[in-house]
Structure formats: C-alpha cells, structure tokens
Amino acid sequence: MLDYRKFYINGAWVNPANPNDLQVINPATEQPCAVISLGDQADTDAAVSAARRAFATWQHSTKAERLDLLNAIRTEYLKRAEDMAQATTMEMGAPISMSRNQQVTSGTYHIDGFIDALTDFEFEEPVKNGAGEMILKEPIGVSALITPWNWPMNQVFLKVIPAIATGGTCVLKPSEISPLSAQIFSEVMHAAGVPAGVYNMVNGDGVGVGSQLSAHKDVDMISFTGSTRAGKLISKSAADTIKRVTLELGGKGANVVFADADERAVKRGVLHMMNNTGQSCNAPSRMLVEQPYYDEAVEIAAKTAQNHSVGDPATEGRHMGTLASEAQFNKVQDLIQTGLDEGARLVAGGLGRPDGLNCGYYARPTIFADVTPDMTLYREEVFGPVLVMSPFDTEEQAYEMANDTDYGLTNYVQTGDSARANRAARAMRSGMIRINGEGGTGYSPFGGYKQSGNGREGGKWGLEDFIEVKHITGWSS
C-alpha cells in the first residue's frame, strides 16, 4: 500500500504536525490502495506561512522567468504521464484508456493554453486618453486552491498554473478521495524547480483543511471546484476576511435536440453523458427533444445505453469505469430510486450494479424518459451515469425548459439549422454553449452562471482571476 502521509510545504516533504491517517480506497476493488494523513490547523498555518513568505519575492519575478518555469513543469509532467494515468485510475475509477487520453492530457492542454495566454498578457497598460495614467496588473497574493476528485489534473492545472503564472503563490488542497495524482503533481513541481513556498500541498477534508483555508486571515483568494452546497459554505466562511472567491460548481445541462439534428446527435449525447461515469459538472444530463422526434430519440438513447459496456478501469478499452466512492455510489442509487418512485419511465439501466460485477462501485448506464420539471431528477445533479429525457413542442418552450434550473454551466444544442443554433446559443443562460458536438480549446473560458459559480478558468480569463488591478495617476514613462 502506498504511503503518502507527508505534505509538500516550502519546497520539502514534511510530516504532518499531528498524524491523522486516512485510507484511500480503490473504487474498483473497494480495498485500500494508499494511506494519507489529513492535515490540521498547524499544517495549514505552515503552508500558508510558506506561501506568504515566498510571495514577497515571487511577485517580483519577470514574465520570462514564469514562462520558463511553466515550460519546465510541462516537461516534467510529460515524464510522469503514465504514473499519473495509473494513479488516476486507481484513485477514482476512470478507465485507464480514458485516464491516459483525457484525464492526464487535460493538464497538458491547459498548461499550453496558459503559456500562450501569459506570452501575450500585458501586466502594464497605459490608460487610453489619460496622460500619466497607468494600469498595473499585479498578483492577488496567496491563493488557496481546493480541487475535486472527478477530474483531478484538469482542475489542479486550471488553478495552480495561473496562480503562479501571475506572480502569486498558493496552497493546494486536493480531494481526499483522489490524493494520489496530487502527490505525483507535487513531485513534478519539485522536479521542475518551483521556488520554495511558491507551491504548497496539504491533504485534508473540507471540514478540516478546507474550512481552515477559507477562513485564514493570510489567504487572499479561494478558488474552489466542487458542489454548490460546499461553495456556499466556503463563500460564507471567506466573507469575514473579504477574500476573493471564485467557484466552479454544479450543473444540470440541457441538451436541446431538434428534429433536424444529425443522425448521431442522440447517441453522441448519451455517450457524452456516460463519459467519466457521468461525474462531470458540464455533463448534458437533461436531453430535451422536439416532439416529432421524441419517441425515436428515446429508442436510440435506450439502445445506446444498453450497449455501453461497463468494466474494470484497469483494463484498456472504451468502456465505463466505476463511480469514485461508496458515498457517490449510494447517492446515485438513491436518486435512481427517487426517479422510479416519482413515476419517470425507466428505459435503460436502473438500480444495482451491471450483471457480473459484484464488487466495486459500478453503476448501470441509466436512461429515464418522460421526466417532468416537477421531478427530482429534472432538477438535482446526480453526478452519475443517469440521463433524463423530456419532450418539447416549440423552440421557445425548449429554451424556457433549458433555463428552468438553478444551474447555468453548459447547455447543448443539436440542429441542422445554423440560424436556430445561434438563436439557441443566445437564449440559453449558461457560461458555455456547445453546438452540434463541437468542443472548446485550452485557450477558452470555463465557468457558469447562477448557482454554477462565478469566475472563469482557462486562458487569459484564468490569469485575470488571480490579478488585482491598480490604477496610477502621475505615472512617468
């Protein structure tokens, strides 16, 4: 069993102030695969203090120095790509092929975007038509970065890299469910030569280290990705010290499918929903289908789900792995039962594990049809492989249904009419719109409206989240 009890503070691996062991569970075997220690206030204080001391000098580093460091991190990360893939599969159950091709590569994808954005980023800008007026863009200071278990490296790179690229310093608290990848990432940072204290990592849970960071007087900013419930608590805790808080929270994305959509639209939507075992905040979890096409779409969706294989994450292939934890498995099962109790029509999947899988947190790819806005599954984020389907009659009704949610992260539209696709993109209230299966790049912003959070990650927007703007008059050039 792996021993990852130490924390990375001030450029060194250190023992916890007061050991508090937690076993990391492999969700495919339900057995321990590693042990970490949960930090306490002394560990949090040590990490924040190291970051605060390092900020005194790192804030004055040049853009060229930071770009050199980012390129060094990228080089070291690529050396550890297979180690990272194996760790991700072990800790949260993503199939190894997916870990290699999506989970790990998301880190490279984002650091490339940040390198490009930083190259063009101007930290000093004269005010237009303002004689002697200058805008300086300065690092916000010490950032606490709290990341989730579902896309470990995706979120670590989206937070750590812009924090240090803008001249700030940071403390990372990864999810206690997926700490193995963060351990390897910290080893990457050390090998890349990140100056002591610029990057620190302390394991812990939300109640402990998470809450301590949120309330800490020497932390200038919190960047959190996770549940909307936790995001609200963090915001309240941070309010006493008026920290900047950026949040990337839940979603209940609508996938609006018009009758003229291409023949693969429904299948594409189902497979997207089942990717990462449905554990993605931007998943297209509500499929809204134009009435003339609805019955056929339900048949296609059911068949796609029934044919989607589920299996051992350690085995290569295009199958679905496990849910990340027992708690997540139980939540998904409870919500499937709620769907049945409230009268939604089950057309694929359902309760329990797939046939032949008696151990591991495996769930069935599940489709519910005829789901109405008053049902729990229409409104609550399942965060599992559960897709709900509902019909609509008119274009206007489709957008009204899509917007009828507390969330606003990503919505989708499938249509052969480009003018209608553009109308849909304008009408739906979310931070991202995806038309006919087209994805984004590492240079684009990621974030949502409403209770899906605030702030944007990725590219120049991700850099700006970690910047303070200073206006100066009487500046001499």
Catalytic residue set? 248, 281
* Angle at which helices 81-92 and 104-120 cross, to 10°: 120
C-alpha span between 273 and 367 (Å, rounded)? 10
Give the strand order in the sheet containing 254-257. 345-348, 366-369, 386-392, 286-290, 254-257, 410-414, 432-435
Here the tokens at position 261 are 């959509």
C-alpha span between 106 and 87 (Å, rounded)? 15
Give the strand order in the sheet containing 221-225. 12-14, 7-9, 199-201, 169-173, 142-146, 221-225, 244-248, 453-454
Query: 209: buried, middle or exposed (CB in 10 Å: 19+, 13-18, 0-12)?
Result: buried
Residue 243, phi then psi, degrees to nearest 5: -70, 155
Query: Identity (one letter) of the amino acid at 356?
Result: G
C-alpha span between 285 and 287 (Å, rounded)? 6
Determine the 3-state secondary structure of 207 from DSSP: helix
Query: 245: buried, middle or exposed (CB in 10 Å: 19+, 13-18, 0-12)?
Result: buried
Here the tokens at position 279 are 């554990």
* Sign of the CA dihedral with 84 first, then 90, 96, and 99 last: negative
Tell me which residue of 181, 166, 153 sits closest to 70, measured CA to CA: 166
For residue 380, the number of C-alpha atoms closer than 13 Å in the C-beta half-sphere is: 14
Q: Which residues pair with 369 in a beta bridge?
A: 345
Determine the 3-state secondary structure of 406 from DSSP: coil
CA angle (114 as vertex; 110, 120 as ends), nearest 5: 150
